[in-house]
A and B are shown apart, each in its own frame.
Chain A
Amino acid sequence: MTRHERTVDVLVVGAGPAGLGAAAELAASGVRVEVLEREQDAGGVPRHCHHDGFGGRRTTGGVSGPEYARRCTAAAERAGATLRTGITVTGWAGPRTLDATGPGGLERITARAVLLATGARERPRSARLVPGTRPAGVYTTGELQQAVHLHHQHIGTRAVVVGDEPVGHAAAGTLRVAGVEVAALVTGRPPQPLAVLRRGPGAPVLSRTSVTGLSGRGRLTGVTVRHEDGRTTTLRCDTVVFTGDWIPDHELARRGELALDPGTRGPAHDASYRTGEPGVFAIGNLLHAVESAGTAAAEGRAVAAPVLRHLVTGSWPARRAALAVEAPLTWIAPNLIGPDDDRPLDNRFVLRTGRRRATPLFEVRQDGRLLHRQRLLLPARPGFPVHLSADWLDRADPHGATVRVRLL
């Protein structure tokens, strides 16, 4: 018994909003697309996000995660894409050739174009090096949501949420649905001005505060926190959820020796979603950790044109100028400048900042030469996307030095 070897036109790894968006668009253009998904159901992370807010504008409406997952899946199927769930892509056997495992056996699939859409996850407690005991009751949002919504498990009675980004608020919501009291949200960041006026998490937010330890043997009994000024206290709880702190699921990308961007930790890519490896594209949260599902799906749809072009021409840029950010910015995506005049989604770059800036001013330079200055109308906040217009792209030299972006 060996591997079953086949070829397809386009192989998509991951059936989240990004992969499904790409599959729908490509299949509608008449291309043979196959999507491989390791979970039993397609849909990606939204499958277990039971709150509303998917697909609509960030602050208004949208549908629930599971409904969104169903819609994405149905759209891809309707367009004629082949969706195969329960199949795990385990590694590479050569350029654009992937190995997979499923209940039907082992496969080796060669594609003319490979799309990686493997998503992102939250760093768990261990990866954040939070010291202390190793009791039960420690979650990430992803695990919590699955425990509550997919498996209806008992969680606990009183919880602390680490993080104050949208996902932290989603975690607090899930906890409440599960009948767990939310004692506090803890964040190292300064308080959000006017936070009281926005729809908050419904629990006190301890800002400028970090988690310094977990206690309890067997079951969690408390979370020790330290305020920036040195004060420490122990919050009594039997559950803690570590939220946010995203890391792209880049295992396949790294195993395929795709160059990563040092900021995002996802594959370095240009506005056409081309990675460093000919014929390999990347989309969705793999590129930049968590953006909204709508963004991931839109990236999926947007990759279709460059993929179709690649299927026809087979060409791939050899050298591209990189984009780099300076602190407090933490990353920018896309982060390579392609030789053609492809524009990023909505003609803008997505960035994240590590610190709040009330009146942000962007400066873009290449070789010291100023390419662009742009004042933003809204404050730049950690945990939320910041956007930079791509209007200056034609002034940059795609074969030149690294383009540097600063936030003043």
Chain B
Amino acid sequence: MNRTVTRAGQPLPDGPAYDVTVIGAGVVGTAIARELARHPVRIAVIEASDDIGNGTSKANTAILHTGFDAVPGSLEARLVRDGQRRLAAYAAETGISVERVGALLVAWDQEQLDSLPRLLAKAEENGYQAARLLDASRLAELEPHLGPGALGALEIPDESVICPWTTPLAFATQAVLAGVHLHLDCRVTAIEPGTEPGNGSGDEPGTGVHTLTTTRGTLRTRGLINAAGLHADAIDRLLGHDAFTVTPRRGQLIVYDKLARDLVRHILLPVPTSAGKGVLVAPTVFGNVLLGPTAEELDDKAATESTEEGLALLREKGRRILPRLIEEEVTAVYAGLRAATGHEDYRIKAYPDLRYVAVGGIRSTGLTASMAIAAHVTDLLARTGLDLGAPAELPPVTVPVLGEAADRRPYLDAGLIARDPAYGTVVCHCERVTEGEIRDALASVLPPASVEGLARRTRAGNGRCQGFYCGARLRALTERAPG
């Protein structure tokens, strides 16, 4: 099988126009590419940065939502519910780590306590039947380190945490293995729409070809999918639309050390208010504890910095929820930007005459919904008249198991080490990542272009020491690798 992944400095392949091009290789764009890859059509994914999953998709809270609290009847509610099932099954198949830890919506005052039955009813309206109310003593039993004053909770036993990095990696790898072309370092700067009409009767769509100008040359395509995340509005405007505007809503997060993991057993959610979902405390599949996110309306789509006020706010909220957490060491601080559109739903819209689907406003649930969004978008695209042909099976993929819980990490696998001693040589001590895993990542279908990319494939360098022990070595290994 031909694998086509191109990067800066390489020309875009010439040849006939692509049948479909997906702009954006986040979790949504890669999921769409994977879904389309079932079909016998020529597909390209073009991504502005040097890696897949490098935008919002790398920086979220990594929860596989049940959708219990979505707006009932919305497209988001439907796609989150459907996406949760699809992704859970896909994860089991590919090795993406998922831990079903369950969530507790904790009420800290009478008003919050009073609103729990309403939230229970909403969950049921969303088709989620397993939620139930817990009193204060049961709650204290389930979460012994919770701060004083918790009055009760709503339990959502199926909320899970998932690996946010291997999810788009699995999608993109599978798409590339199935023949999709992935063009990295390739930003779309202009689009000349191919509006040529179809048979002229007005009821059959056009067959024109769009010309995309990118930072690496031009590319021609019949169908187009805009999965550009925060920049989906800009791409949409390049096609002459003015349907929505994306305003970034920043979420800052603090990752606590693995030694804090025993302090918390569930995802601890606040009771939602009009100000948003609020600050949560959650385990991660990597064995850490997450505190966040904040919710700040901004106008800079690159403003992924953390702030003094943001971190202070998180610590203040965290101290109330889980006082002992704040005494633990911090491993990392990061921020992600949600793609808000001032509209309480996704903005997915097909333009049949352009064979174009805009996938906008994939707010704070896009990881969960990704596979369902992909199925929905493929459906919409097929209905624009573009002939996708009959779907076939995809080549199987497996991704590195990055989760801590499974006990399947190579450094603990005697059989694997016996076959290949490189899996017994630990390079990143904090995360226990071995030479074998790093070598595999560098030789994979989608090798990383940077130490950050390597970290998202192996966890190397992500630990408590943040490079004190292994940083220089990892840089040496990554830079030596053929790019």
Contact = CB atoms under 8 A, between A and B. Distances in A.
A126 B332 contact: yes
Interface string B406-433: 0000011011011001101110010010
Interface string A115-153: 000000111111101011110000110110011001101
A1 B415 contact: yes
A121 B331 CA distance: 13
A210 B421 CA distance: 46
A3 interface: yes
Chain A interface size, under 10 / 10 to 19 / 20 to 34 / 35 or more: 35 or more
Q: Which residue, B305, B307, B412, has most C-beta atoms of chain A within 10 A? A: B305
Interface of B: 254-255, 259, 302, 304-308, 310-311, 329-334, 411-412, 414-415, 417-418, 421-422, 424-426, 429, 432, 464-469, 471-473, 475-476
A104 interface: yes
A131 B465 contact: no
Nearest to B421: A103
A3 B418 CA distance: 11
B476 A151 contact: yes
A158 to B, nearest CB: 20
A131 B309 CA distance: 9
A104 B412 contact: no
A375 interface: no
Contacts of B466: 124-127, 140
Contact of A132 (B305, B425, B465): B305
A165 B330 CA distance: 23
A131 B308 contact: yes
Choose among A3, A90, A129, A150 the residue with the greatest number of B CB atoms under 10 Å from its CB.
A129
Interface string A146-188: 1100110100000000000000000000000000000000000
A147 to B, nearest CB: 4
A27 B307 CA distance: 53
B432 A140 contact: no
A146 B426 contact: no
B311 A129 contact: yes
Nearest to B259: A254
Contact of B432 (A2, A88, A215, A254): A88
Nearest to A147: B472
Contacts of A38: 426, 429
B54 to A, nearest CB: 12
A143 B464 CA distance: 13
A105 interface: yes
B468 A122 contact: yes
A371 interface: no
A126 B330 contact: yes
A88 B429 contact: yes
A395 to B, nearest CB: 34
A27 B367 CA distance: 56
Given A124-B468, A126-B255, 4 more contacts: A88-B429, A123-B329, A150-B473, A151-B473
A201 interface: no
A103 B305 CA distance: 40
B185 to A, nearest CB: 13
A101 B329 contact: no
A3 B311 contact: no
A131 B330 CA distance: 13
